[in-house]
Amino acid sequence: ESPKQIVNRVKVLPKTLKQMGFKKIISYATHPGIAKVLQTTGLPIRMTRASQMIGGTQQPIIKFELDL
């Protein structure tokens, strides 16, 4: 999907998940481009950098959190 389509999908996701009873969204990405796309949604997504074992090696990741 294009970045614009991803932004539109992410914008409606919190409302849907909140209706389903979720209280928080937590996700991870290894590609920094995902953070740039999520920033354009205007949602109050907290982003933190960390590292995580992926495939047996320590990899840099970006953690995303959004309270619903």
Report the pLDDT value the prediction gives residue 1, as an integer from 0 to 100: 83
CA distances from 16 to 31, 36, 42, 53, 55 (A): 25, 23, 17, 31, 32
Output the six-digit token pair for 11: 């914008």
Report the pLDDT value the prediction gives residue 2, as an integer from 0 to 100: 86
Report the pLDDT value the prediction gives residue 59, as an integer from 0 to 100: 93
Residue type, 59: Q
In SS3 terms, the chain reads as CCHHHHHHHHHHHHHHHHHCCCCEEEEEECCHHHHHHHHCCCCCCEEEEEEEEECCEEEEEEEEEEEC
Considering the entire predicted model, what is its pTM? 0.80
Q: What are the tens digits of pLDDT across the range 8-44?
A: 999 999 999 999 999 999 999 999 899 999 999 999 9
Residue 3: pLDDT band with limits 50, 70, 90: confident
